[in-house]
Each structure stands twice: as structure tokens, then as C-alpha cells.
Structure 1
Amino acid sequence: MTIPFAVPECRVAHLVERHDDHLVVPVRLDAATGCCPECGQASRSVHGRYHRHPADLPLSASRTTLRIEVRRFYCLNPTCRRRTFAQTPTDLLAPRARRTRRLCEARARVGRACGGAGGARLLAHLHMPASRATVLRLVTHLPMPDAPAPIRVGIDDWAIRKGSRYGTIVADLDRRRVVDLLPDRTAPTVAGWLERHSGVALVARDRSTEYARGASLGAPQAQQVADRWHLLTNMRQAVERWLQGAHARLRSLPLLPGSTARPARRDRACARSTTELEAGAQSRMRWQVVYDEVRRRHAGGEPLLGIARALGLARATVRKYASAETFPARLPHGAGPSLLDPHIPYLAARIDEGCENAMALWREIREQGYPGTSRQVHRFVAQRRTRSVGSGRKARSAKASASEPPGSEARLPPARQLAWLLVQPTSVLDESEAAVVSRVEQDDTAQAVAGLARRFTALVRAAGKGKPLADDQDAAADIVAWITKARTCEASAIATFAAGLEADIAAVRAALTEPWSSGQAEGQVNRLTLIKRQCYGRAGLDLLKRRMVVAA
């Protein structure tokens, strides 16, 4: 049997030997002489022979092993400290290696694409078996590619361990490739990388002050561009922060004439049990105490970070409580999807006919395909019951809905959803959303916030759609005018956001006039997160860097 491929620096000595589970290919080295690795003198004087058995690429559907006859020569140089040396096929094998270079490369490529555990499973199927530790070791030994020096880069943070440690990803915007992974997201690390790559002329980033400072220190000649998506997100977050404090006041606004208070469908969750209601009330009392303590400390002049550390709270929670005019109670749950929804019209019609037996109704809809238990049917019927139940307990009448908390008929969306509506152009809102926005804009401050948010969103989106402003002067005039107006807004969150834009005005202006953004880095972060999760905890920075950069 012959083999259909060549073996570098060798020739097949005999026929291939077939064993039960693999093939053995006997080969000899082509060279008749050897050169001493110490002095370089050639020699033909053979001292002895021995065999090496490295694994090689599989042949057909069998593992393949080479049996290489290696000759050991005498060194004929009397001044050389070596007496003998072995003839080594350097192109085929590394010193003392148990596998050929091409097999190592094939395993490393599989590991780069599939990771350690996944690569080991695939290699076993391809008849190149290796442990997952070996696969990862081969990946980490892959050389880094020689790439041209980047000119325009995008930087973004990524979670090494979410909530604890973060790194920085650097992407070449021109080549659309990952350039490097940095161990943290601090300004000195970013500045050091930019100093080592002095040819960088543009840095696209989010609005992190650390990245802004690192880019200014490491590449003062480079133009910084704020990412447009982050600008829009920061605007919405500023509106949301203001709404979290003003939501209670806005809920008291009356409905506009002609608007529908409650849609003709289930708009709230089913009634909860007494135990669930008591647990919710106790939770509210605990958070009310925390809210009062945060407000007291904030009024006393303590910084938000100090309050968060003293009370063991997240800074976002402390910031929300400190800016809230009243306790930001959790809003009543809306109507989520339920197995009962397709059968509600039938149940409502049967109740109108006088049937209020929950078990009988459950049996009827079960025959129609309802897969759930009778619990939800009991809750649904209890909210609409007009006659007393047999146990003597006081029945809940259909008129009991009038005793619900004030404002339940005119419920507002949560702050996050309402912020999204306020930053959208009014032309894209449907009828119900436009009614909510019109009702909120009865408040003067809300009207001013919504107007500023829409104007800023229009400026950024015009640039994002490839329609930047006419020139730098127009961009500067528009954004400076917006900042000047926003700084005088009664909503402190909007004024703070405008102050941050003013401090970063050069990068913000570049975002409106330049086509570059850090979107490519954001996309690479998604890919990096997938690779990190595939590593099952074996995701060191060096391994991730090779799987990201070498694959690019």
C-alpha cells in the first residue's frame, strides 16, 4: 500500500503496515550526510540508528503514525564538544516532538475554531485524537500574524467576568479585524497601547471618560469620535433617570378628552393571593426604609458612591432614589402572555350568560384545547363574580373594580418604556402611544424634556443615516445650541447629560460629521463573548487573543 501524499525530507522505505486501529508508514531520511548542530561540519560516519514514531495526518479513515529511521553520526571535528549527533528532519518535526508539524497545525486550526472540548470531540471523529488540554496548548502556541499598522481603530469594553473584571477590545476599522485584547479598561492601559502604535489617526469610542483620557494621553494627534449609538442610548437613559423621579407626578395627570382609558382586552395580571399581597407589602416597606435613608444621607451631603458602599446598594439604585421626588414604587404588573388568553372571549360570554362555576368553565375550555390547570380560571372568574360563593366568604363583585387604586384606569407605562416613547419622533408613534405622550406633555417640564430629546435624536440619526450636516460649522452650531438650551432645563438629569456633552464636544461633533463609529468593535464583542462561553472557563486572555486575532 502506498500513501497519496509526500513526507517532507523523507521517502517511504517499505509498504505501509496496517494494524487494527491505525496505519504505520516506515520512512527514511533523504539526506546521506548530517551536519553537526554545534559546529556545522558535515559527516557521513554513522554511529548507529534508532526509530522515532511521531503521529501524522490521518490516511483515509485511520490514524497514521510514521516510523522514521534516524541515523546518529560521529562529529569529525576534533575541537567540537559533541561526539555524536542525530539527523533531524526539521521541516517535519520539532526536536523531541511526538507529532508532526502539519498535524500540530491541523489540530490548532480545529481548536481555534471550536475550542478545547469541542475541538477534542471533532478531532476524535477526524482520526486525529487529542485531549482538550493539548488542543488549547496548541492554540496558545500559534504565532500572532503580522498585520499592517492600524490607522483608524474602534475600542470598546468586554466582560472578562461580568460585574467584576472588564477588558478592552481594539478593532481595525479599515480592515474590519480585531487587532488586540487588553487586560482592563483603564486610561493608562489604553494610552500605552496607543503609544506603541503611533500611526493611529482616529479613535472611535463610547463616552467613557477613561477611554477619552487614554486616547488623549496615548494619541494626542488622533481624532476622537463618539459612537452615535451610545449618544442615543445616553440620551434615553437621561430621560429615564428623570422619569424615575417624576413618574408619580406624571401618573396624576388627567386623561385627555377622547382617549380610551382601558383597551378592550386583558390589561392587567390576574388577582394575587393574600399571601402574595402581604409579601409584596412587606417588600415595599423594606425598600421604603432604604429610600428614606438614601434621601437623608444625600440631603446631608454624602456622595452617592459613599452611600452605595455604606448601604450595600448599587450606585444606579442610589442615584435613582436620590433623584426621586417620591418613593419609586413598583408599578402594577401589566398583562403578560397567558394560556388563558385565547379562551377569554368564551369565558366572558359564559359569565354574562350567568355561569360562574369556575370548574365547569374549566372543563368546557379544556375540551376546546386549553392545556392549563383550573387555577387561572378560578382567578379570572373571581374578578367577575356577581353572586356570593358557597363558603360564605364575601364575593368580589364586578363593581369592585371601582375600589382599585386611583390612577389604575389611567396607568402610565414604566419609566423605561415611557423614555423610549419620548425620544421617538411623533410621526412613528401609533394612536395609543401618541395619546400617552400627549398626556405626559401636559406637564411643562416633560414637554421641554421630550422636545430636547427629539431634537437631539434627530441630529444624531441624520448623521447615522449617511446624511451628516453640511460642514463642521453647522454641526458645531447645532449641537452647541442644543447644549446651551439643555443646560437650562429644569430636569437635572438632562442638564447633567448636556454638561457631559459639552466636556466632550470635539468627539460629539465628530460623531455628527464623520462616518466612523465603534460599531465594529461592538460586533466583535458579541463574537468574543460567544468564544469565551465556548471555552467553558478556560478563557484566559492569551487564549482568547489568539482565537480572535489569529482567526481574523
Structure 2
Amino acid sequence: MQSARADRVREQHAAVHALLDEGLGLRPIARRLGLARNTVRRLTNAATADELLVGRWPGRTSILDPYKSYLHQRWTEGCTVARRLFEEVRERGYPGGESVVRRREAFPHDDPPRKAPSVRDVTSWITRRPDRFDDDQAQQLKQILTRCPALDRTAEHVRPIAELMNDRRCRELGQWIERVQADDVPALHGFVTGLGQDLDAVVAGLSLRYSSGAVEGHNNKIKMLKRQMFGRANFDLLRKRVLLAARGRS
């Protein structure tokens, strides 16, 4: 069965490329061969039939096999861009197309190296309580902070302010500001300056039970309604929708 499928793919590939050499387009080729246009397009984009057979059936050799060790080495070195990897192996004699390199079968390991953590990931790890992320995340964060001493010093100040805000310990805010000002952490000096310009509001936010969250929620809802109604109705209808939304009926 597997051999029959492979033979059929090779026959279709040869037929499609023969008609392409005659100057026919995808639609006429699809009609003449009785194939779907997407199938014809896939056959057209493949330089050889073997590209379409890679990874489909167990035990089948691949035109990429001689280059897999090199791809694995480059991947572990941090090069994960398929286009760049394709160009590198092509310079080494690889005869196939880029689509084969893009497939998971191109790499001789079951668990490819993980994507590097994003800025958002690292920020989340630094501000999160240590008992709320797993061992893998903790290990990644430790490696990042070891490679960047400036970020490590910054994290030493960010964690306390995050806990201070979560626990609403406003009495410790002044001490935290003094520690940051005494340390050489330029990234936080601007933040501390901003806190000092509106310190009363910051203290109130950390000590009082009142919150502007409800007001901000209503503002966001009104903005959403304005975007929905733009160019569709007049002010009277917009007013009705806002009032109904405030009553929970929209």
C-alpha cells in the first residue's frame, strides 16, 4: 500500500511538471489530470517527488538524511529559522526544497530545543511569587539572571515591590524607595522618580479599599459602544445603548 501511494505521487509529480513545461497553468493541469488545484499546487512547488514523501511512511529514507546531523547541531546552537537552515544545507549540496526543512522530521530528536523565553515571560517570572512557577521556569530564570547581572540586581528590587503591592503594605514603600535610590539601578530610578511625584495617590491606592477599577471598566465599555456605533446611528441611540449597558441590559 505504501509503495503504491509513493508510485502514485511520483507519477502525478512527473505528469504535473511535464504539463508545466508545456506552458499550462494550474487550473488547466488540474482539469486534465482530474486533481484538486491545491494538490497540483503542492506538486508544482516540490522540486522532486521525494519532498512530498518525507516523513509520511515509517522506514522511508529522506533526501535530508545526510544533513540531519548538521541541522541538529545548528538548532542546538540557537539557529531555528527554517529559511536560514535551508540556505545553509543547500550550500552543502542539499537538492530538495525548503518545505522539507520546515517539517519536524528534519530534526533527529523528539524534543526540539525550546523557544527562548520572551520579555513578557521573564517579566512575569520576576514579579511572580517563587512558589507559583514550576522548576523549569525557575531554572530558565536563574540562567537568564546569571547571564545578566544588571537584570539580576533589578530583579532583587522588583520582587519586593511586587509583594508589597500584592499585600498592600504601604508602610514599607518609603524604605523600598530608599533602597532603590541607594543602588545603581538606572532602570528603576525613573520609576521611583515617578512614584515620588504622585506619592500621596500611590499610598492611597495601597492603603484604601477604594478603587477606580469600576470607573475604568465603564469607560472601556463606553469606548467599545462608540466604536460599534460609529457611522451607524445618531447620538440618541448611542445614549440609549450606554444607559442600557449601565443597567446590565446590553
- TM-score, with structure 1 as normaliser: 0.26
**AA in 2 matched with 1:462:** D
Q: Work out whether 1:529 is the aligned partner of 2:233.
A: no
Partner residue of 1:446? 151
**AA in 1 matched with 2:199:** I
Once residues 544 and 521 of structure 1 are traced to their aligned partners in structure 2, the CA distance between those partners, rounded to angstroms, is 19
Q: Work out whether 1:419 is the aligned partner of 2:115.
A: no
Q: Work out whether 1:455 is the aligned partner of 2:160.
A: yes
Q: Work out whether 1:398 is the aligned partner of 2:102.
A: no
Distance 1:530-1:410 versus aligned 2 partners, 3 A rule: closer
Q: 1:386 aligns with which of 65, 89, 113?
A: 65
Partner residue of 1:360? 53
Report SS of the residue matched to 1:482: helix
Query: Would you tell me which structure has more strand in proportion to its own residues?
Result: 1
Are 1:488 and 1:495, in contact at CA under 8 Å, matched by a contact in 2? no
- The percentage of aligned residue pairs carrying the same residue is 24
Q: 2:204 aligns with which of 510, 513, 517?
A: 510
Are 1:422 and 1:454, in contact at CA under 8 Å, matched by a contact in 2? yes
Q: How does 1:291-302 map to 2 (within 5 A)?
A: none
Once residues 486 and 498 of structure 1 are traced to their aligned partners in structure 2, the CA distance between those partners, rounded to angstroms, is 8
Report SS of the residue matched to 1:445: helix
1:449, CA displacement in angstroms? 1.3
Higher relative contact order (CA 8 A, sep 6+): 1
Are 1:483 and 1:499, in contact at CA under 8 Å, matched by a contact in 2? no
Gaps of 5+ in 1: 1-356, 366-380, 388-395, 464-468, 470-474
Once residues 227 and 197 of structure 2 are traced to their aligned partners in structure 1, the CA distance between those partners, rounded to angstroms, is 38
Are 2:180 and 2:189, in contact at CA under 8 Å, matched by a contact in 1? yes
Once residues 531 and 521 of structure 1 are traced to their aligned partners in structure 2, the CA distance between those partners, rounded to angstroms, is 15
1:527, CA displacement in angstroms? 2.1
1:525, CA displacement in angstroms? 3.0
Report SS of the residue matched to 2:210: coil
1:361, CA displacement in angstroms? 4.6
Distance 1:536-1:428 versus aligned 2 partners, 3 A rule: same
**AA in 1 matched with 2:136:** S
Gaps of 5+ in 2: 1-49, 80-112
1:486, CA displacement in angstroms? 1.9
Are 2:154 and 2:187, in contact at CA under 8 Å, matched by a contact in 1? no
Give deviations 1:306-352, integer Å, cap 9, x for gaps. Answer: xxxxxxxxxxxxxxxxxxxxxxxxxxxxxxxxxxxxxxxxxxxxxxx
Are 1:487 and 1:496, in contact at CA under 8 Å, matched by a contact in 2? no
Q: 1:431 aligns with which of 127, 135, 140?
A: 135
Once residues 191 and 238 of structure 2 are traced to their aligned partners in structure 1, the CA distance between those partners, rounded to angstroms, is 36
**AA in 1 matched with 2:65:** T
Once residues 410 and 550 of structure 1 are traced to their aligned partners in structure 2, the CA distance between those partners, rounded to angstroms, is 49
Once residues 202 and 184 of structure 2 are traced to their aligned partners in structure 1, the CA distance between those partners, rounded to angstroms, is 23
Q: 2:192 aligns with which of 476, 498, 514?
A: 498
Aligned length: 161
- TM-score, with structure 2 as normaliser: 0.53
Distance 1:363-1:436 versus aligned 2 partners, 3 A rule: closer
Once residues 202 and 116 of structure 2 are traced to their aligned partners in structure 1, the CA distance between those partners, rounded to angstroms, is 33
Q: Give the alignment's Cα RMSD to 1 decimal.
A: 3.3
1:452, CA displacement in angstroms? 1.4
1:545, CA displacement in angstroms? 4.9
Which has more radius of gyration?
1
1:433, CA displacement in angstroms? 0.8
1:551, CA displacement in angstroms? 5.6
Q: How does 1:113-128 map to 2 (within 5 A)?
A: none
Once residues 397 and 363 of structure 1 are traced to their aligned partners in structure 2, the CA distance between those partners, rounded to angstroms, is 17
Partner residue of 1:51? none
Report SS of the residue matched to 1:459: helix
1:450, CA displacement in angstroms? 1.3
Distance 1:489-1:419 versus aligned 2 partners, 3 A rule: farther
Report SS of the residue matched to 2:65: coil
1:488, CA displacement in angstroms? 3.6
1:489, CA displacement in angstroms? 4.0
1:513, CA displacement in angstroms? 0.7
Query: Would you tell me which structure has more helix in proportion to its own residues?
Result: 2
Distance 1:485-1:360 versus aligned 2 partners, 3 A rule: same
Once residues 454 and 460 of structure 1 are traced to their aligned partners in structure 2, the CA distance between those partners, rounded to angstroms, is 10
1:447, CA displacement in angstroms? 2.1
Once residues 452 and 540 of structure 1 are traced to their aligned partners in structure 2, the CA distance between those partners, rounded to angstroms, is 52
Distance 1:533-1:485 versus aligned 2 partners, 3 A rule: same
Distance 1:440-1:360 versus aligned 2 partners, 3 A rule: closer
